[in-house]
Amino acid sequence: MTPAIEVQQLSKRYGALTALDDIDLKIEQGEFFALLGSNGAGKTTLISILAGLIKPTSGTARVMGYDVQSQYQQTRQRLGVVPQELVYDPFFNVREMLVMQSGYFGIKHNDVWIDEILFRLDLANKAHVNLRALSGGMKRRVLIAQALVHKPPVIILDEPTAGVDVDLRQSLWQFVQQLNQDGHTVVLTTHYLEEAEALCRRVAMLKQGRVVVLDSIENLVRTIRDYTLLLRLSTNILPDGLQSWTVKHDPVGELYRISIKEYTEIETILSLLREAGIQIIDLQLRQPDLEDVFVKTMEMDQAVAL
Amino acid sequence: MTGFYTLLYKELLRFWKVAFQTVLAPVLSSLLYLMIFSHVLAERAQVYADVSYAAFLIPGLVMMAILQNAFANSSSSLIQSKITGNLVFILLTPLSYLEIFLAYVVASMLRGLVVGLGVYLVAAWFYPVSPQLSGWVIVFALLGSAILGVMGLIAGIVSDKFDQLAGFQNFIILPLTFLSGVFYSIHSLPSTWQFLSHLNPFFYMVDGFRYGFFGFSDFSPYISLLIILACLVVISGWALWMLRSGYKIRH
Ligand SMILES: Nc1ncnc2c1ncn2[C@@H]1O[C@H](COP(=O)(O)OP(=O)(O)OP(=O)(O)O)[C@@H](O)[C@H]1O
Ligand SMILES: [Mg+2]
């Protein structure tokens, strides 16, 4: 089967800055894929090249087998992109926007599907409200709706949940999961890693324009065997005995994070604290998750990561 | 074609929703020109025998309104979409660069023509004047509005900020329209200025348009027609090349 997205030796330079550095990436049809990375890693740049909003410096990008530059009409017909920036046209209301967006894709009578999208995104009662009069989260929903008017087989969401409330976040993901089950390929970027972990099967992590990790979440989490012991204590002076563990102090909520490999280590730590007369106010044990993978990947020296 | 019609419809809706500023205001200002100039210059500026100055002025003012509003439409629409970022809604679609070009230009032409018609109707109510050769009037109105629509498109693509666009408007469009013989016949000018006027493409648009009203003009309407056709071809080629290469729009 043709991959939904296929990128080969793709680079994008802005003068001296290399936003994408020789990227290879293949996403199969039907996948639910996460593109992760810190601010400035190159996620939006990659998406913009796929959408034809910017031109690569070198390399090729294909959507459903079509080249994004030479066959742009085919690729754009198959691609729905939710841009990261919260943009809107202040001249029109929600329904007008969706009807027009359908028209740009050559679709004349799209009311049934538009109604369904409005309903799914909880916008039905805002259909006749001017975009200017919507809150930020609602504008974001309209952006999502606009990306879906032409039922694209490949959907790319660039931080769709930034600024969106909890209720909608859940119904949005339900909707997107439904689309994915119906056969749409979904690619998303997000800084909420638990979202990616809950929804996606595979992830790519970008760092300074390079793909440093590309694997299923299951495999990635399995490589990390460390549990994290979270502790809130009555003091901030730790007993010397704890020095043999990696202890991180998180000033938010005065938390100590201690990496452990075995459950038996917990007992040793607790007894050390008891001997020092330190009281435990709160204690949690955390399983390794995608965030640990992410943090570890980003901390790694670039040379090692490659 | 649905894509083209939709974008055209959107562009038309965009100015029609604010017709007070985009149609009524320019009609009013043209009317003020007519009142002031026809009073002040009525005795001193007899241009052609048998044609009153007011009658001479009206086709010029109509054409000036057509040109300025055609330019204003595409240029302001594009720069607004660029600055607010919503141009991306068009860039993400399979619309071809030719469809985008045509939609913006045709919408600009219609805005120019609607304003021009408004100016004509109001002005003719004060000073009755009707075209002798409507064919020429229509052809020059269409071509003039098309050229300025394309120029507006180019200005909108090239400008990154509103003040750059204002620069286009104040340093190119305004001088060229004012010096195109809207208010006077170039035969009343010293020879150097006559020569310079012949380098101004807007002169041929106004002169040819006026020919349609009176059946005579400063210059042969056939040559004017050829000159502005050539202008349209060159400038459209330039605009299409920019759109096609994604200049300033798709980095
Ligand atoms: N138009 C531009 N001109 C110059 N540099 C740019 C331009 N657009 C992006 N960059 C740079 O390219 C790099 C990648 O940016 P990009 O927007 O792809 O990051 P990102 O991974 O989407 O980040 P975020 O999580 O903040 O959205 C950044 O260093 C950014 O400053
Ligand atoms: Mg981004």
Amino acid at B83: I
CB-CB under 8 Å, A91 with B17: yes
Is A247's Cβ below 8 Å from some Cβ in B?
no
Q: What is the mean pLDDT of chain A?
A: 90
Do B90 and B55 touch, CB atoms closer than 8 A? no
Residue A97 confidence (pLDDT) above 80: yes
Q: What percent of chain A has a predicted confidence (pLDDT) above 90?
A: 60
Residues A160, A250 share a domain: no
User: For position B231, what pLDDT does the model report?
Assistant: 97
Grade residue B44 by pLDDT with cuts at 50, 70 and 90.
low
Residues A244, A119 share a domain: no
Residue B37 confidence (pLDDT) above 90: no
Residues A255, A206 share a domain: no
User: For position B45, what pLDDT does the model report?
Assistant: 61
Instruction: Please list every residue in chain A whose beta carbon sits closer than 8 Å to the beta carbon of residue B89.
Output: 87, 89, 97, 101, 104, 146
Question: What would the pLDDT profile of B150-189 be if each residue is shown by its tens digit?
Answer: 999 999 999 999 999 999 999 999 999 988 988 888 778 8
For an interface test with B, the pick among A44, A91, A102, A158 (most B C-beta atoms closer than 10 Å) comes out as A91
User: For position A2, what pLDDT does the model report?
Assistant: 94
Q: What percent of chain B has a predicted confidence (pLDDT) above 90?
A: 76
Considering only residues A84 and A293, tell me which one the structure prediction assigns the higher pLDDT: A84
Closest CA to A283 of A299, A260, A306: A260
User: For position A157, what pLDDT does the model report?
Assistant: 96
User: For position A112, what pLDDT does the model report?
Assistant: 97
CB-CB under 8 Å, A90 with B94: no
Ligand nearest to the CA of A35: 1
Question: What would the pLDDT profile of A101-133 be if each residue is shown by its tens digit?
Answer: 999 999 999 999 999 999 999 999 999 999 999
Question: What would the pLDDT profile of B107-129 be if each residue is shown by its tens digit?
Answer: 999 999 999 999 999 999 988 88
Among the atoms of ligand 1, which is closest to the Cα of residue A54? 1
Surface-to-core class of residue B76, CB atoms within 10 Å of its CB (0-12 exposed, 13-18 middle, 19+ buried): buried
User: For position A301, what pLDDT does the model report?
Assistant: 54
User: For position A305, what pLDDT does the model report?
Assistant: 41
Residues 6+ apart with CB under 8 A from B95: A104, B3, B4, B7
Residues A244, A178 share a domain: no
Residue closest via CA to ligand 1's atom 27 equals A39
Tokens of B59: 């086709």
Residues A123, A58 share a domain: yes
Secondary structure (DSSP) of chain B: -HHHHHHHHHHHHHHHTTHIIIIIHHHHHHHHHHHHHHHHHTTT---STT--HHHHHHHHHHHHHHHHHHHHHHHHHHHHHHHHSTTHHHHTS---HHHHHHHHHHHHHHHHHHHHHHHHHHHHHHS----S-HHHHHHHHHHHHHHHHHHHHHHHHH-SSHHHHHHHIIIIIHHHHHTTTSSS-GGGS-HHHHHHHHT-HHHHHHHHHHHHHHS--SS-HHHHHHHHHHHHHHHHHHHHHHHHHTTTT--
CA distance A83 to chain B (A): 8
Residue A306 confidence (pLDDT) above 60: no
Domain around A263: 226-287
Is B54's Cβ below 8 Å from some Cβ in A?
no
Question: What would the pLDDT profile of B56-95 be if each residue is shown by its tens digit?
Answer: 899 999 999 999 999 999 999 999 999 999 999 999 999 9
Residue A174 confidence (pLDDT) above 70: yes
Boundary-marking domain end, from A167, A190, A221: A221
Distance CA B72, CA B22 (A): 9
Residues A190, A255 share a domain: no
Tally of domains in chain A: 2
A300 lies in some domain: no
Residues A232, A178 share a domain: no
Residues 6+ apart with CB under 8 A from B21: none
Residues A239, A151 share a domain: no
Q: pTM for the complete prediction?
A: 0.89
A292 lies in some domain: no
A304 lies in some domain: no
A303 lies in some domain: no
Residue A81 confidence (pLDDT) above 80: yes
For an interface test with B, the pick among A64, A82, A96, A104 (most B C-beta atoms closer than 10 Å) comes out as A104
- Which range (A239-243, A263-267, B193-197) has the least confidence? A239-243
Do B207 and B123 touch, CB atoms closer than 8 A? no
Residue A42 Cα, ligand 1 centroid: separation in angstroms? 6
User: For position A228, what pLDDT does the model report?
Assistant: 85
Phi/psi at A12 (5° precision): -140, 120
Residues A128, A273 share a domain: no
What residue in A sits closest to B10 (Cα-Cα)? Answer: A100
The alpha carbon of A150 is separated from its chain's Cα centroid by a whole number of angstroms, namely 23
Residue A263 Cα, ligand 2 centroid: separation in angstroms? 39
The whole-number average pLDDT for the span A224-235 is 83
User: For position B43, what pLDDT does the model report?
Assistant: 67
CB-CB under 8 Å, B89 with A104: yes
B/e letters for A223-261, b = 16+ CB within 10 Å, e = fewer, are: ebeebbbebebeeeebeeebeebeeeeeeeeeebebbbe
User: For position B46, what pLDDT does the model report?
Assistant: 64
Distance CA B139, CA B153 (A): 21
Boundary-marking domain end, from A169, A200, A221: A221
B/e letters for B112-143, b = 16+ CB within 10 Å, e = fewer, are: bbbbbbbbbeebeeeeebebeeeebbebbbeb
Residue A293 confidence (pLDDT) above 80: no
Domain with residue A39: its CATH number is 3.40.50.300
Residues A234, A215 share a domain: no
Q: What is the ipTM of this complex?
A: 0.90
Residue A195 Cα, ligand 1 centroid: separation in angstroms? 22
Closest CA to A238 of A198, A278, A210, A268: A278
Residue A304 confidence (pLDDT) above 50: no
Residues 6+ apart with CB under 8 A from B210: B56, B59, B60, B63, B217
Surface-to-core class of residue A92, CB atoms within 10 Å of its CB (0-12 exposed, 13-18 middle, 19+ buried): buried
Residues A213, A265 share a domain: no
Ligand nearest to the CA of A49: 1
Residue A236 confidence (pLDDT) above 60: yes
A301 lies in some domain: no
Boundary-marking domain end, from A190, A221, A252: A221
Residue closest via CA to ligand 1's atom 29 equals A40
According to DSSP, the β-strands at A202-207 and A32-37 are parallel
CA distance A7 to chain B (A): 19
Surface-to-core class of residue B72, CB atoms within 10 Å of its CB (0-12 exposed, 13-18 middle, 19+ buried): buried
User: For position A247, what pLDDT does the model report?
Assistant: 84
Residues A176, A86 share a domain: yes
What residue in A sits closest to B13 (Cα-Cα)? Answer: A91
A295 lies in some domain: no
Domain with residue A281: its CATH number is 3.30.70
According to DSSP, the β-strands at A227-233 and A210-216 are unpaired
Among the atoms of ligand 1, which is closest to the Cα of residue B251? 1
- Which range (A6-15, A178-187, A241-250) has the least confidence? A241-250
CB-CB under 8 Å, B246 with A55: yes
